[in-house]
Amino acid sequence: MVERIEDLNLPNAVIARLIKEALPDGASVSKEARAAIARAASVFAIFVTSSSTALAHKQNHKTITAKDIMQTLTELDFGSFVPSLSQDLEVYRKVVKDKKDIKASKKDAADASASGSGAATEEAT
């Protein structure tokens, strides 16, 4: 499925932006360092995924849950990520919920207008 290692790399521009955000103003990053970070990030993603999969399997679950990832991160000594991640997760869940609500209300509105226009055409005829 993956023919070359480069196929796994994350988008370069995104990596560059993230690094820039993390470093103070005026700091520059060598090309080599950026490539190394990109490589490290893709390996990290695969590493965490496979570890959480193993963890989920151990508990006889087939799907990875957010909890599995948090636990894996703690085990891998990246516990410092967990607080901000759970914060982001909460925001994400809220956004998804809001979207669903909006969609639902839109659908209701559409249904209402559809029936309304239906009535209007009926009246016209």
Partner 1 sequence: MKSSMDTGLITNEVLFLMTKCSELFVQHLAREAYAASCSKETSDTLKYEHLSHLVNKSSNLEFLLQIVPEKIRVHTFQEMLRLNRSGTTSDDDDDDDSESESESESDE
Nearest Cα residue to 77 out of 116, 54, 37, 47: 47
What's the closest the beta carbon of residue 106 comes to partner 1, in angstroms? Answer: 20
Phi (first) and psi of residue 60, to 5 degrees:
60, 30
CB of 44 to partner 1, least distance (A): 5
Q: Which is nearer to partner 1, 50 or 117 (CB)?
A: 50
To partner 1, the closest distance from the beta carbon of 107 in angstroms equals 20
- Cα R_g (the chain), whole angstroms: 23
Q: Which residues bind partner 1 (CB under 8 A)?
A: 1-2, 8, 10, 15, 18-19, 21-24, 26-30, 32-33, 36-37, 39-50, 53, 62-66, 69, 73, 76-78, 80-81, 84-85, 88-89, 92-93, 96
- Count Cα neighbours of 22 within 13 Å in the Cβ-side half-sphere: 9
Beta carbon of residue 55, minimum distance to partner 1 (angstroms, whole number): 12
CB closer to partner 1, 90 vs 108: 90
CA–CA separation, 89 vs 67, rounded Å? 11
Cα separations in angstroms, 61 against 29, 45, 55, 75: 42, 20, 9, 19
Residue 84 or 121 with smaller CB distance to partner 1:
84
